[in-house]
Structure 1
Amino acid sequence: MQIINPYIYHQLVSPQFLSQILALSKILPAFSYGGFESHLGSKQSQVDFFVRYFSNQAINDLLNYYQWEPLKNLAQEWADIKSPLHQKFTDIWLEFDINEQSLQRLIPGIFFTLNKQIDKNIPELTQQALRLLSRPIPSKLESNLKLCVDCLPKGASFLHIGIMLSRPHQAIRLDVAGIAFDRVLDYLREIGWIAQTNRLRSLIADLSNFADHIHLAFDVGDTIFPRIGLECFLKQQPKYEPRWQLFLDYLVKQELCTPAKQNALLSWPGFSQIKSNHVSRDDYILGNKGINILGRSISHIKIVEQPNFPLEAKAYLAIAQRWFEPDLLPEKEAN
């Protein structure tokens, strides 16, 4: 993690929060993909840190630090090849709200990446995960989740189920991919979302000018919560996609992003070579010809709509470790 320090501008992650993230990364099991969630507004400095794991072994390793029985139960269930969780969840994300608490007291939110073929199993899988984590199950959760599944437009799918362990409200976060811009409001109405739609309709129309596609994130419990996240994705990074500049210009104009954070965000993507004596290149398919590279990219930007609150914008800065054949690296990309 130290290798990315020169590229993390304090406008995006304050030195105080960065020191906590670096300390946490030393404790966590090794990961090849992670990143930061940075608020882009002028008065917002909160940062979240997330990591992605593809096996239960990493979660078991985590338990050497977090002696937390519910997480142990989840890891054991995920390891069982006969378990629906093993068959339906392809990987797990842990998201930490970085704050003033000590590292020992940080409780991660858990996000499960779903097999795209299992939409109808979501109510049962969600309740099983909640039981393993010793979390209450809202009385209307099953029927609300079923409604979300039944109303899903053709071509759309559920990408993640999130259990926000560090948050006070008892709800499940759903992340839906593949909904066309012009179908978002229809879907929300069909699942029982009740809120004023004028601002959201205008926002979606604006975002369609910049993003290639969006994911819809919302919370489900005894009701469909009014807070909506629109996660905006572009296929290319800013060097190859001028709409990033236009998108961020729009956010600055709407006072959802400061000019300083805009500049810092556009400067983030790139590659850094990792030079370490702790990893043997002979362990990888490229043998001693490989170069260990840490890639930095903008994953997406989320716009949060919540009735009676100002809009919010958050950037998700991703880091990914990969081995490359030297001749395949873009010229002058490594720095």
Structure 2
Amino acid sequence: MNRPSSGPLSSLDGLTLGPEGRGLLLAVAVACSFATNSTLARIAYEGGSNALSMLTVRTGTALLVLVVLLQRVSTGARLSRGRSIAAFALGLLLASYSYGLLGAIQYMPLAMVLVTFYTFPLLTALASAALGREPLRSRTLLALGLALYGLSLVLDLSDSRINALGISHALVAAVCFTTLLLCSDRVRGDGDSRLVTLRMLITGFAVYLLACALSGAFALPRTTLGWVGFIGCPLFYSFSFISLFSAVSLAGPVRTALVMNVEPVASAIFGYLLLAQVLSGWQVLGMATVVGAVIYGRLPQRRSGAGSDWLTVLLLGAGVLLLIAAVRIGSG
């Protein structure tokens, strides 16, 4: 039996978007929002704040937003005691992956940290196959490899130095985030992903508050622009983190992780637009490679009559624009 249309995003002139498509489109929005969050965080750092302060404030803000949201839109759903305990435990993974990224940045350049961390889509696919949840298709494996290569171009590793401690911290972050994606889906079961996210945020916020209390490292910005970043970062993070697990519940952890490769691409674009950072032709070509990899991994083995896919059309258009930009920059 066909499901009724739920609005213009579900069906328009033959373009269809099912639950998986909505999840992946949400994942693109999450990736871009995470990128905006990172850009604003950097502005806050330059204004006098620091990473631990931003982690604490953004997690607390996301927790507050989610509490208000659940009060206003109550579904009456509940988590069992066992699932609640597991969800609280996942908050430790949230804190661990964030700490891993921060620790890695202390030992090696950000570009190398991000390329190492973004092995998590590949790790997610491998772990999902090993657990028997989703078969590892050659198309998915190739798409993930292409995306990782594209990221190496986007992030420009020519001046990056490999450091054993930095690599280990970034890999710990990647493993923790992979585990977070896979376990949150299992802990959620058929319930509301926001209930799991709420408990994760409670644990993560408690850990960051304790770290601030023990270190005394909480720092507010000293400039007006720094305050813009300090206030804006938690707002974008709230949408990103809450929506991430909704995307996982709709599209699954492997496809969501593949689409999340868009985040560093969006970060580079926002850096160019907002922070006056320079982009080379190779970097833009890397962006097009990442987008192309996501399209390739996203291409479904269609059922007849399924119609065109919104996400594939949008990503294809973005890829073409990035290729044109790469040619223009290269010839310039």
Judge same fold: TM > 0.5, yes or no: no
Normalized per residue, which structure has more helix? 2
Q: Which has the higher contact order (CA 8 A, sep 6+)?
A: 2
Q: What's the TM-score, normalizing by structure 1?
A: 0.29
Higher share in strand: 1
